[in-house]
Amino acid sequence: MKIKGNRKYIISLESVAMTDIVLNMFIFFFISFSLLYTFSPTRAQKIDVKLPQATNIKPLGDAEQIDITLTEDGPIYLNQDIVSIKSLASKLKEKKDANPQLSIVIRSDRLVPFKSIVKVLDIASGLGIPKVSIAAVKE
Whether 71 contacts 32, CB under 8 Å: no
The pairing of beta strand 81-83 with beta strand 53-54 = unpaired
Band of pLDDT at residue 25, cut at 50, 70 and 90: very high
Per residue in 113-123, pLDDT (tens digit) is 888 888 988 99
Among 51-65, 110-124, 125-139, the range with the most confident prediction by mean pLDDT is 110-124
* Of residues 134 and 31, more confidently modeled: 31
71-77: average pLDDT: 83
Give mean pLDDT, residues 37-60: 67
Is residue 91 predicted with pLDDT exceeding 60? yes
Q: Is the pLDDT of residue 88 over 80?
A: yes
Cα–Cα distance measured from residue 27 to residue 35, given in angstroms and rounded to the nearest whole number: 12
- Give, as one character, the DSSP assignment of residue 16: H
**pLDDT score recorded for residue 27:** 94
Percentage with pLDDT > 90 across the chain: 7
CA-based end-to-end distance of the chain: 92
Q: Which CATH architecture has domain 53-138?
A: 2-Layer Sandwich (3.30)
How far apart are alpha carbons 18 and 103 in whole angstroms?
61
- State the pLDDT confidence band at 13, using cuts at 50, 70 and 90: low
CB 76 within 8 A of CB 120: yes
- CA nearest neighbour of 131 among 100, 106, 104: 104
Residue 70 CA to residue 76 CA, distance in Å, equals 5
Q: What is the pLDDT of residue 26?
A: 93
